[in-house]
Every structure is written in C-alpha cells, then in structure tokens.
Structure 1
Amino acid sequence: MTNDRKCRWGILGSAGIAQKNWQAMAHAENAELVAVASRDQAKAREFIERCAAQVPLAQAPDAVGGYDELLARDDVDAIYLPLPTGLRTEWALKVAQAGKHLLCEKPCGTSLEEVERMVEACERAGVQFMDGVMFMHSDRLAKVREVMEDERTIGDLRRIATQFSFWAPEDFLTQNIRMHSDLEPHGCLGDLGWYAIRFILWAMKYQEPKAVTGRLLNASGRSDSPHPVPTEFSGELLFDGVSASFYCSFLTEHQQFAHLSGSKGNLRIDDFVLPYFGNRLGFVSSNARFDCEVCDFRMERREAHHQVDEYASSHSTAQETKLFRTFSGLVLKGETDPHWPQITLLTQRLMMACMESAQKQGKEITID
C-alpha cells in the first residue's frame, strides 16, 4: 500500500530563488505547493502564472494577498521563507507561532541573536527549522566523505580552501537588494560566504574552529543604502591541525571550488554550490608523484575522477528536490531533527565572527 500523503507548502514572498524551488517542490513526490503569498495579491498571481507556464502543477496554488493570511491557513504545513535577510526574523517568528514548519533562506538573520530567536521559537512550537543550503542534500557529499576517509587518497586532512564568486554587472551593484545594508547587511559574505563556511564545517564534521579571521577587501552599496556592504571578503578558520580559507566576491567571475589537501593527496570540487549542467556530479582526487633520476625531474599527475548519478538541477534527483523531499519527510513523520538548526546556528556564529574580525582590521577572534 502506497502512502500518498504530502507536505503542504506555502511560499511567503515571491523572490527569484522561489521560482527554482517551485520546480523542486513539483519534483518532490511528498511535497505539494498550495499557496504563494505576496504583500500584493497581483504579484503573487504573476509569480504563479510565470512559474506555471514553465512547470505546470496538477493544481495551481492559491495567490494570497498578505503574509498573515497565508499563515492563518489550515491547509499549509510548512513555509518556505525567501524574504530578504533584514525582513526575515519578524516573519520567521510568526511562522513558528502559527505552528508551521520553517525552511529559511540563508543567511538566516542579520545577527546570531536573531537566528537563536528563530530556532528557539521553532523548538517551542515543535516545528522543524532548516536553512536552504541545497548542496547539503546532494548524494555527492556522501561520495566525497567516502573518499576523504579511505585512508589512501587524502590521508590526514591539513588544509581546506574554498571560493564562491561571480562578477556582478552594474545594475546589480546599483539596484539589487544584496547591495542594501538594511536588507542584506552582509553582502557577499552572507550571500556567498555562507556556503563556503558551511562546506568547511561539513568537511570538519561540524567541529568548532579555535579562532577565525576576516578581511573586508571591498565594499559598496546602492545609492539608497545607509551603509556599504561587503562585495569582496576573505576569511580564515583555524582548527586543531587543520586550517581553512574562503573567498567570496561580487567582483570576480564565476568560481565555486572546494579543495581539500592532506598528507597523501588532495581532492577538488569545481562546482560545490551550483553543479555544472549535466546528469552526473563529480569531483577529482589527485595523488601526484614526483620522481627524480639525475637530470630528469618528473611530476606525474595521477588523478582519479569520481561521480554520482544525479542531475545538476530541474530533476527529481537534483539537490534542491532532495532538500524539499527531506524536509517534507520530516514533517510527514511528525519528527524534528535538531541537526539542521544546530548547523545553521554554527554557520551564522562563524560568519558573524569573521565580520567582527574584519571590522577590527583582521584581528583573530577566539571561538569559545
């Protein structure tokens, strides 16, 4: 006997990323989108029509004019919240108070205290909290972990290096919400650095670093932004025996690599956040060998390619679909998994510590 129960979703806010997740919900067999809310019902309707033209649903969701109206519905189990970070806390708390499960876009708050309030509200309400980092749900991570721990490819991990960047056109730098300090005060650090910090934490099995440093390399803002926001940022996380760096930027064209180095070799992922188009996700390990025979100096590459069968996007196997499948599964089981809010809090904490360091000219910040 098959179980055809579905987690009933509402989208609170019609941000661009919600269009991708419309499709993710459509591909997740245990999820159903029932309503989309905007402050203006006409905007919600436009969002629905635009998405349905490309990915039609068996039943079109309702267009709701007002966020409170969405939260008052008894046919919604979970809320996907893609509002700007500066507006998110108020509505995250209201989602929890309404007894709805919360999938929250990242960075989840403008401060650690805000995210702590969200998580505590969800705990009191007995609802699931999770952030929207899609790569956490990819099958590729399990394969990476397998290779990391095979004792011959990497050996003892010593160094992690990550970068996530894109070159933003002028209209982005002068108009986008990520360039307004009231809406997205952490700029590229919150938008891109969050992923890099999360990957480092995943690689370290969520061990806390001893200390962090951060450097604000560039900053600017929209003409109506009260303060500039980071547009180029680098950071360092220092663990016992392992160091990790990240670079994030709106000023450097597309790169999204993660590189793990150890006593025996290294591993690199060239697309750890947004997989390159295709039906397989991969990474490369290297155990280069240097030989010297008198005058003949030779470096041999010795690479191995590893893959998993998984579409990059827009498919039932894609990582964004697996995010909604995992979250919906928890809701339908009536369970909450504390792992997800715990790693959100740790990611936010380290991001804020890196920002504090940058504000203090790169001073090392101890993580207690």
Structure 2
Amino acid sequence: MPLKSDTCRWGILSTAGIAKKNWRAISRSTQGIVSAVASRDAASAQRFIDECQANCPFESAPVALGSYQALLESKDIDAVYIPLPTGLRKEWIIAAAKHGKHILAEKPAALTAADVQEILDVCKTHGVQFMDGVMFMHSRRLEQLRQTLDSPTGIGSIKRIATQFSFYSDQEFRTTNIRSNSKYEPHGALGDLGWYTIRMILWINQWRMPTQISARCISTLQGQGSPKSVPMEFSAELQFDNGVSASFYCSFATEHQQWCHISGEKGSIWIDDFVLPCFGSNVGYDLNRPEFVTDVCDFHMHRRSQRFSVAEYDSGHAPSQEITMFDTFHGLLKGSTPDESWGRMTLQTQQVLDRVFQAAGCSL
C-alpha cells in the first residue's frame, strides 16, 4: 500500500517520553509530518503536542485525540508510531494494520515470537510496512563497520562477540516505572536493553541463529502493583554453528554502558556507544591489532589502533540515526509491496529473546 503523496502523515499512539525524540526525527526527515497524537486522555495528548510544538514546531499543529481507536480510524494518517508498553503493543499493532496504517513500533514488538509472527502475518495480509524502532540499524556507521569486518585487512574471522547495555536505576524507577512492572514489561532489562545487544550480535554474525544458549537472571526487581518480578540484571551466552560465540549483559543496576567488542583471529573492534551515539558530529569505532614485540630481554606490547568514523550527528540533526530511520521508512513506502526483511529482523531478535528468557528459568 504505497503512499499516495510525497508526505507521510504520522500518528503517534501514546505520549511516551521516547515519542518526543521521534517527533523531532519526523520533523527533520525529508517526507514526514506528525498529524495527530492520541492518548487515553485528550488533555494529555494536547499537553504533549504543546510541549513538542514549542520545542520543534510543525507548520500546522497536530490534532490531539482522546483514544487510540480515533487515531486509527482517521483518514488523515498514513503511518503510526507505537511506543506503547510491550504488554499492550500487539493489540494495537494488529489494529493499526487492519486499518491500513504502516507501522513503526518500539521494541520488543510483542511478548513472544508467536505474537510477532501473528503481527507480521496481519501486516502482510493488509499490505502494510512494519519496522521496529531500533535506531542504530539505520546508522551509517554500520555500513562502514561491515566493510571493515569483510576486509582482508580487518580482524580476520570473527570468533567472539561481547556486548553490554546498562544504566543505573534509582529507587523511584524501581518502584514506579513501567519497566519494573510485569504486567507491562515482563522482560524487564532484557526487553528494554537486551533487545539491542541481541540485535547487534545477530547483525554482526550475518543473522545466523544460535545453536546453543545458556542464560542467567542475575537479579530482579518488582515495582508497585507488579504481579511478578522482572529481570534487573541478565546475562547470556550464545554459540553459533560457524564457530562464533557471543555473550551479553543488560542491567538496570550498572551505570551507562553500551559497548560492543568483536574479536577476530587478527584483531578486534571496539565500539563504546553502539546504541546511543555520544554527543558530537561523528560516530565510529576502533580497530585494534596489537603487536607483541620481543628483543632478547625487551618485551613490549604495541597498541596499533586505527579509528574509523563517519560524519553523523548523535541526535536531532540529519543525518542522525533516528532521522535516517524515518527517511528509510518513508522510502519503503514508495515500493509496490512492503519490505518484509525488517519484520524478519524483529522476529529473529524476539526468537532469541524468548530462548534466553526461558533458559534463565523466567516465564511470563
């Protein structure tokens, strides 16, 4: 279902904080505008619009709607951005697809891989594009990184991938944030942060799926009103049939870290900000090929590092990764049929998430 005009009219389904970042991204994309924002309370939607419009205005202010259904029924909306909690997401993604709306949804897309498959089937039936909101997939850095990984002068055959994404949560977060409530976010840190580490591992290893998995839920938290506890710290080990092994750690208990280390037979690559690029106008990574030199009694390890970078803002200005995400999405809508590869990436990520969750003895 391609766009009928050069402008993609977006509806935002909920007033979640991350939607403010994507409001700006849509406004600075080449073809997008926000036409409506929906909340369960129209006044809440209007407050969200007023705040965002004051910071990053559209020529015409979006309409505030008091129900999600009203937004989906609007004929003035081509695509919807859905940052609702994971526990609610499947219902509204499917509803959006049935109303013929293209969909960009936050992650995880649903509670299980079976749910994601159902979502993708409905999207295919109704001819709408689906994509999850993993912004780093749209960074120009990945194109450069793939070239380095494939280069004969790079790190050689990959043997090991290790990655971590974490932040330290305060007591208020641990008691009142929806990510501490199993009704809305039953995967806790695994869903919120581990999704990115799993996605990065799969991308690096060319979308191979792990053949062996072990996992551990290291600690948990249980917010006010939460039926069950959810993972606060989680780690996993993955083994692949091409000889690559991988590990990840995600956590609400250790302060900001978002690194990825790729080890090969000839060297390694270090990325210290693979999810949210650090402030600046360049993003990159380090190729490390240390050299151990000995001469009789002299023993020295030489660093031998090379920095690779691309011109890309961390956020808010083109070509930052979130703006490129919307430009990519808009480009997909020019095709005669949806690009199903984006949905397959979501499904594979969810399949691994399901497996490590179960391997750690966790359940929904």
TM-score (norm 1): 0.96
Residue type matched to 1:216 in 2?
C
Give the structure 1 partner of residue 88 of structure 2.
Answer: 87
Give the structure 2 partner of residue 320 of structure 1.
Answer: 322
Residue type matched to 2:361 in 1?
Q
- Aligned partners of 2:53 and 2:108: how far apart in 1? 28
Give the structure 2 partner of residue 180 of structure 1.
Answer: 181
The answer as to whether partners of 1:36 and 1:48 remain within 8 angstroms in 2 is: yes
The answer as to whether partners of 2:33 and 2:58 remain within 8 angstroms in 1 is: no
Give the structure 1 partner of residue 306 of structure 2.
Answer: 304
Match of 1:261 among 260, 263, 277: 263
Q: CA 1:19–1:321 in structure 2 vs 1: closer, same or farther (change >3 Å)?
A: same
What's the CA shift for 1:141?
0.2
Aligned length: 359
What's the CA shift for 1:8?
1.1
What's the CA shift for 1:360?
7.5
- Aligned partners of 1:197 and 1:35: how far apart in 2? 33
Residue type matched to 1:147 in 2?
T
Give the structure 1 partner of residue 292 of structure 2.
Answer: 290
- Aligned partners of 1:282 and 1:187: how far apart in 2? 29
CA-based RMSD:
1.3
Q: CA 1:206–1:103 in structure 2 vs 1: closer, same or farther (change >3 Å)?
A: same
- Aligned partners of 2:238 and 2:105: how far apart in 1? 25
Structure 1 residues 299-346: Cα deviation after superposition (integer angstroms, max 9, x where no partner): 000000011000000012110001111111112334311110001000
Residue type matched to 1:206 in 2?
W
The answer as to whether partners of 1:165 and 1:249 remain within 8 angstroms in 2 is: yes
What's the CA shift for 1:179?
0.3
Give the structure 2 partner of residue 131 of structure 1.
Answer: 132
The answer as to whether partners of 1:30 and 1:329 remain within 8 angstroms in 2 is: no
Give the structure 2 partner of residue 43 of structure 1.
Answer: 44
Residue type matched to 2:41 in 1?
D
**For 1:179-328, what aligned pairs fall within 5 Å after superposition?**
179-240=180-241, 241-328=243-330
Give the structure 1 partner of residue 172 of structure 2.
Answer: 171
The answer as to whether partners of 1:38 and 1:67 remain within 8 angstroms in 2 is: yes
Q: CA 1:312–1:293 in structure 2 vs 1: closer, same or farther (change >3 Å)?
A: same
- Aligned partners of 1:90 and 1:254: how far apart in 2? 32
The answer as to whether partners of 1:6 and 1:332 remain within 8 angstroms in 2 is: no
- Aligned partners of 1:55 and 1:43: how far apart in 2? 18
Are residue 9 (structure 1) and residue 10 (structure 2) matched? yes
- Aligned partners of 1:341 and 1:200: how far apart in 2? 17
Q: For 1:69, what is the secondary structure of its paired residue?
A: helix
Residue type matched to 2:185 in 1?
E
- Aligned partners of 1:322 and 1:132: how far apart in 2? 12
Give the structure 2 partner of residue 365 of structure 1.
Answer: none
Structure 1 residues 140-174: Cα deviation after superposition (integer angstroms, max 9, x where no partner): 00001111111122001100000000001111111
Identical-pair percentage: 49
* Structure 1 segments unaligned to the other structure (5+ residues): 362-368
Q: For 1:359, what is the secondary structure of its paired residue?
A: coil
Give the structure 1 partner of residue 352 of structure 2.
Answer: 350
Structure 1 residues 34-54: Cα deviation after superposition (integer angstroms, max 9, x where no partner): 111111100000000111111
The answer as to whether partners of 1:4 and 1:30 remain within 8 angstroms in 2 is: no
* Structure 2 segments unaligned to the other structure (5+ residues): none
Q: For 1:333, what is the secondary structure of its paired residue?
A: coil
What's the CA shift for 1:209?
1.4
Residue type matched to 1:229 in 2?
V
Q: For 1:53, what is the secondary structure of its paired residue?
A: helix
Give the structure 1 partner of residue 148 of structure 2.
Answer: 147
Give the structure 2 partner of residue 19 of structure 1.
Answer: 20
Are residue 64 (structure 1) and residue 65 (structure 2) matched? yes
Are residue 336 (structure 1) and residue 330 (structure 2) matched? no
- Aligned partners of 2:213 and 2:193: how far apart in 1? 17
- Aligned partners of 1:345 and 1:164: how far apart in 2? 21
